Amino acid sequence: MVQPEVIRGIHSPRAKGLGFLARWLYAFPSPKVGARDIRPDPIPENVLFDYHNILTAFWAMPTPSGPVTIAFNQEADDLLAAFERVIEPRIGPDGDMAHLAAWGTKLSGEVARLAGTLHMAAAAEINKITDPGPVPASAVAAAVRLADQFLIPHAFAAFAAMQADPAENLARRVLRHLSRHPEKSVSSKRDIYQALKGSDTQLRADDLDGPLKLLGDHGYIRAIEANRNSSRSERYEVNPLWNRSSEDPRA
């Protein structure tokens, strides 16, 4: 989990070719600046207590003299195999994760490691870290949920940011602006520029030409032909069929 600009700048043919980008689990949350919770509730004491005790137990483990094998029971192994069977076609050429194939080929191994880590944490909580027993199905199920609900969606977001076109990013900002003003059926390039430049001192009015064309091509807006004698900035009609309330303001 690093700054978004690091993610956007890390993509390169060399990094991809060396398998560097496929070796990470990504956390790429939506930015909260502008909607942060001021003075949020503190972390509950019982959570801090458990976290401290589990990490302390990990650190206090004796150093093994050689490799240690942690077995999976049969039900856990079956669950892991079922996850692999689901992922395999998704990373194939026609799957929704085809563009994440290199990352996806390592995901089942990561899920197995996560299941082992969760199992050891549970063992530490009951003082059995030196004799944890085999990894149960519940640990694999928890790791699979993490993959389905967090790791995969965040990998989609991270890899999309790496390959994002600056015009697409700016077009999304324009969409967010328009979605916050559903009362406006017509907006001008000047109005949009004035709204966006406050948070982006590097933005120029001409930078909006590509994004506005892109939004027009996708049917979000339509350019209104200017009157020859008009001095008003280029104007755009917002598609009345677009449900602006459905637009994710964090996208």
Domain region containing 189: 166-246
pLDDT given for residue 57 in this prediction = 86
pLDDT given for residue 16 in this prediction = 63
Q: What DSSP line would sit under the chain, residue for residue?
A: ---HHHHHHH--HHHHHTT-GGG-----PPP-TTS--SSPPPPPHHHHHHHHHHHHHHHTSPPPSS-----B-HHHHHHHHHHHHHHHHHTSTTSTTGGGHHHHTTHHHHHHHHHHHHHHHHHHHTT-TTS--SBPHHHHHHHHHHIIIIIHHHHHHHHHHHT--HHHHHHHHHHHHHHT-TT-SEEEHHHHHHHHHTT-TT--GGGGHHHHHHHHHTTSEEEEPPPTT--SPPEEEEPTTS-GGGS-TT-
pLDDT given for residue 48 in this prediction = 94
pLDDT given for residue 246 in this prediction = 63
Residue 214 in any domain: the answer is yes
Ranges of the chain with pLDDT below 70: 4-18, 163-165, 199-201, 226-233, 246-251
Q: Could you say which of 162, 179, 210 is where a domain stops?
A: 162
Instruction: Report the distance separating Cα 15 and Cα 11, nearest Å.
Output: 7
Q: Could you say which of 162, 197, 218 is where a domain stops?
A: 162
pLDDT given for residue 109 in this prediction = 94
On whether both 119 and 213 belong to a single domain, the answer is no
pLDDT given for residue 104 in this prediction = 92
**CATH number for the domain that contains residue 238:** 1.10.10.10
On whether both 226 and 109 belong to a single domain, the answer is no
On whether both 78 and 130 belong to a single domain, the answer is yes
Task: Give residue-wise pLDDT tens across range 197-208.
Answer: 775 567 888 888
On whether both 82 and 11 belong to a single domain, the answer is yes
Total structural domains in the chain? 2
pLDDT given for residue 24 in this prediction = 86
Residue 39 in any domain: the answer is no
